[in-house]
């Protein structure tokens, strides 16, 4: 039976403050929970009898069999699934020279957790293992972001940093590392020389890349619409723009 206290705890993890206090985050559904179990320490599994029977080897500090109604009360989803889990928040470190060896992403004040989760999923698809997030970027471990990542949060490490300062340090210590940003006035991405390492920087949904971050960018890229010069949407969703950009980088390899 899932107690009221446990339901209250789960629901409180919608708040970043509580996630940090409890050092826990929520994941829901067989796909997401299944992907996260090998990577993160699981504090609690709440599952329907059918799911628990089908997964007898799961490891968690506590396992509770719950009814559909109990899962509905605890869930953040409109259509609760068979299982919900609480995982311990990870702590990551990153080597200073990672951007000289790998392609990474940087996110400048991405506000929508759904966009963030989708970007994490895109990064996972294109083999990008590290994302540097500004302090004001949405929390990667919010329920919505975790759900939108569809398990990719297990393989993609997010690092929250003072982004302008972080990029400035990289430029100062490794001036040869390319720092790419997407702009309406940039160079056509399909004509630009692209590297297999460095950082791709994506900006805020409404304001784009901030001036403080722009000062550190070495290459400005533009994703053209087709056919050129015809009326079109004002801009692309940031997650879609990230996917197009990452795809072109990987295509060059």
Quick: pLDDT tens for 106-150: 999 999 999 999 999 999 999 999 999 999 999 999 999 999 999
| Residue partners of 62: CB distance under 8 A and separation at least 6 | 43, 44, 45
- If one counts the domains in the chain, the total is 2
In this structure, the answer to whether residues 70 and 191 fall within a common structural domain is: no
Residue 96 confidence (pLDDT): 73
Quick: pLDDT tens for 14-40: 999 999 999 999 999 999 999 999 999
In this structure, the answer to whether residues 67 and 177 fall within a common structural domain is: no
Whether 62 is covered by a domain: the verdict is: yes
Whether 17 is covered by a domain: the verdict is: yes
Residue 227 confidence (pLDDT): 81
In this structure, the answer to whether residues 51 and 71 fall within a common structural domain is: yes
The pairing of beta strand 198-202 with beta strand 103-107: parallel
Residue 253 confidence (pLDDT): 85
Quick: pLDDT tens for 162-198: 999 999 999 999 999 999 999 988 999 999 999 999 9
Q: Give the mean pLDDT of 51-66.
A: 95
DSSP element (H, E) containing 157 = strand 157-161
Whether 93 is covered by a domain: the verdict is: no
Whether 132 is covered by a domain: the verdict is: yes
Would you mind telling me the total number of residues written for the chain in this entry? 253
Confidence class for position 231, pLDDT limits 50, 70, 90: confident
Quick: pLDDT tens for 60-84: 999 999 999 999 999 999 999 999 9
- Closest Cα partner for 131 from 155, 156, 164? 156
Residue 233 confidence (pLDDT): 84
Residue 228 confidence (pLDDT): 77
Whether 172 is covered by a domain: the verdict is: yes
Residue 93 confidence (pLDDT): 86
Tell me the CATH number at 119: 3.40.1280.10
Residue 160 confidence (pLDDT): 97
Residue 31 confidence (pLDDT): 95
In this structure, the answer to whether residues 79 and 111 fall within a common structural domain is: no
In this structure, the answer to whether residues 110 and 166 fall within a common structural domain is: yes
**Higher local confidence (pLDDT), 235 or 120:** 120
In this structure, the answer to whether residues 129 and 230 fall within a common structural domain is: yes
| Dihedral over Cα of 93, 97, 102, 107: its sign | positive
Q: Give the mean pLDDT of 208-217.
A: 96
Confidence class for position 94, pLDDT limits 50, 70, 90: confident
- Residue that finishes a domain, picked among 62, 88, 114: 88
Domain housing 133: 98-252
In this structure, the answer to whether residues 71 and 156 fall within a common structural domain is: no
Q: Give the mean pLDDT of 44-55.
A: 96
In this structure, the answer to whether residues 114 and 219 fall within a common structural domain is: yes
């Amino acid at each position: 039976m899932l107690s009221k206290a446990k339901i209250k705890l789960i629901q409180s993890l919608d708040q970043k403050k509580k996630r940090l206090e409890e050092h826990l985050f929520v994941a829901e559904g067989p796909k997401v929970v299944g992907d996260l179990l090998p990577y993160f320490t699981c504090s609690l599994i709440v599952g329907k009898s059918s799911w628990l029977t089908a997964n007898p080897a799961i490891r968690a500090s506590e396992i509770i069999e719950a009814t559909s109604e109990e899962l509905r009360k605890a869930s953040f989803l409109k259509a609760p699934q068979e299982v919900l889990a609480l995982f311990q928040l990870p702590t990551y470190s990153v080597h200073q020279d990672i951007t000289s060896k790998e392609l990474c992403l940087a996110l400048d004040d991405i506000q929508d957790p759904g966009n963030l989760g989708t970007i994490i999923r895109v990064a996972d698809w294109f083999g990008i293992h590290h994302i540097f997030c500004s302090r004001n970027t949405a929390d990667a471990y919010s329920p919505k972001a975790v759900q939108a990542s569809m398990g990719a949060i297990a393989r993609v490490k997010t690092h929250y940093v003072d982004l302008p300062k972080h990029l400035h340090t990289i430029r100062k210590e490794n001036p040869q590392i390319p720092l790419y940003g997407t702009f309406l006035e940039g160079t056509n991405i399909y004509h630009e020389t692209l590297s297999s390492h460095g950082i791709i920087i994506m900006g805020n949904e409404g304001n784009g890349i901030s001036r403080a971050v722009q000062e550190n960018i070495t290459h400005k890229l533009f994703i053209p619409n087709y056919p050129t010069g015809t009326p079109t949407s004002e801009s692309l969703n940031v997650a879609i723009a990230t996917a197009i950009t990452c795809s072109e980088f990987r295509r060059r390899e």
